[in-house]
Structure 1
Amino acid sequence: MREAKEQADARERAVTTSLLLRPGEAFQKLWRASMQTKTLLATLADEKSGKTIWLGFLALTDRRLAFLEEVGLFTKTYRVKESIDLENLINISVQGVSKKLYVTYQAGGNSVERMFGGTSGSTLLEIQSEIQETRAARVNIIEHEKKQARVQYVLDFSFLKDQMEKGGIMVSTIRCPNYGGTLALPSTGVSVRCGHCQSDVVAQDIFERMRGLLGNLP
């Protein structure tokens, strides 16, 4: 058992090295598998199709799903045959009489399908679930990064007034959110002091209240 584990660990290290993890990318799981680029019927119908089945390993990281072909009889080496960014996955399903894992992904504006079988250590449904969960986590991270990267507006009353006028909104007074009294809308500056409660009314706060009306801003 110990020897088998050591061999598995060594193989995992070799595969991970061949995968060339990107900065910050974390290895998740490895399954022995075969990969098909065409169904058997499609292969038989196309005499010039060439090789369509490879043996190797299906590897999952927190960013990619990859297939590495195993090469060599005694000394094993691994080369990446397929590398799919998780956010580009369209569909993952278990299909067919022989039960294969069908993976469809987007590449260069086209949908590409790959079939994986002969997996060991986990059922196809377990593998499907792990890939789907990892993809969902990756998509959430990407969406969060997009939100963080959005332009942050440094608003002053001049900018706010200009945007309101572009939207067909004419406002000459604003209401103090603390006191409730009306204030003249300044032409410049990032804040104005309420003469009643002495609190500062900030242009950014007014913008947030009117965001729904200023539809031309994100």
Structure 2
Amino acid sequence: MGIAILKKNNRKINIVVMDPVVFYRESMVQVLSKYFVERINVTDVVSSLSALMCLALRKGPADVYLMEAFGQNESYNNWGEFTHFMATYHPSVKCLLWSSKPTMFINKFNNFERGEAGWQIPKKIDISCFVSFLTRFFDGENFASYNSQFYIGPPMSNLTPSEIAIITGIIEGDSIKCLAKKFNVAYKTISTHKRNAMIKMRISSTAQLRSLFLDGHILRGDKERYLPIETSSNQPFML
């Protein structure tokens, strides 16, 4: 059932939150309860995408899911499985992704080929902007993404899931040794995935890789000129 229809029927919107989501030192549940107590019911709090899918099978879907890209011990592969599950079985559910991970990676695994596109909400968002966005969202307002321009980034459409997982880990500060332990594979395997991904992305060093995503910008040419990966790093935008 659409949010607009719920509004007409004066029924509270049922929302499931995936924790841990901390927003200005408060849990997302506390923030939602503070600003939207009259409009929503937080029906469940889970810790992983797999738990979200199990919950949907057991109790049926909520109206809205607000989740991280993936939970502990999960990866972008799980995000792909989740979006495929939602598109197949619950296409009318609205999904909000609380994440500042590179959108180009998220879109690589995004299977929302349906009418209800998901929204990504960057963690740097100002709380007033967040409340304003959710108010319009809960009102069922059809509004365009704040980010009306496409992101600019290095070529990576042909990266494999393994390469994306490794590159993402490196961007987030993990070492090759740490990633080898995390994924329970050989050090050489991680190094190979990293090298192959960097060749595809046309970069030659880890420093270059990390600079691509420093503060949401990529370096093009001289050190003085930066172009944004997203046009705004603190506004919601449609996936």
Q: Which has the higher contact order (CA 8 A, sep 6+)?
A: 2
TM-score, scaled to structure 1: 0.21
Bigger helix share = 2
Bigger strand share = 1
TM-score, scaled to structure 2: 0.20
